[in-house]
Amino acid sequence: MEVYLFFLRWIHFLAGITWIGLLYYFNFVQTPFFAETDAAVRSGAIQKLVPRALWWFRWGAMFTFLAGILIYLHRWIEMGGGVFYTSSYGAAITMGGLLGTIMFLNVWLVIWPKQKIVIASATQVAQGGQALPAAAGAARRAALTSRTNTVFSIPMLFYMGAASHYPSLVGQSGAAARAWLWIIALVIIAAVEWNCLAGTQGATKKPLDSVSGALWTGFILAAVLYLLFLILL
């Protein structure tokens, strides 16, 4: 069992670094580069570079998620549900896992399907055809969702680390306080997620249009969730 858990964690770390590293590459490096380069270079990169990066990106997300779920279930069974959810480890890893699961679903259900449209459109134009009408909207949705994953990644990594390295994060709170924490946290997280899935313009989208805006939003979200833990747990 020790060897099993070690290799699960190793896979989780290795795949997670691949996934989140490419998420940051897309948002901090590739997107600003595409905004500054000429159309021909951008088109070539979309056809040849982006598909390769997205392959590692989505499968990194998949293996991170699967290994994480297995670790989570093992600890839940080992500790028992009642103890698990009242412990500092259980509360922190559940918050981190919730954010990571949303990010995983965003990759496979939003970012990858939308990027396939963008890649197909760029390929069609390079072959002398017309751009796909849905390409612009797909690119915008993928960009908003990718930036939202960047926002989520900051508190997600905080709580993944806090699970094993911040044992005093959770105190001896009652069931009502714990329920309120999850209700408030779920409402906040759902609002951030809905912001990237509904519409493409508006004041709430502006922080996602810049790297600094996404980072600040991520740190603010992490601070808000942390304060909820301090106040309610």
Distance CA 35, CA 206 (A): 16
Span 83-122, pLDDT tens digits: 999 999 999 999 999 999 999 999 999 999 999 999 999 9
The DSSP-derived string for 29-57 is IIHHHHHHS-HHHHHHHHHHTHHHHHHHH
pTM for this entry: 0.96
Span 28-38, pLDDT tens digits: 999 999 999 99
Span 19-70, pLDDT tens digits: 999 999 999 999 999 999 999 999 999 999 999 999 999 999 999 999 999 9
Distance CA 180, CA 130 (A): 52
Q: How high is the pLDDT of residue 82?
A: 86
Mean pLDDT of all residues in 153-175: 94
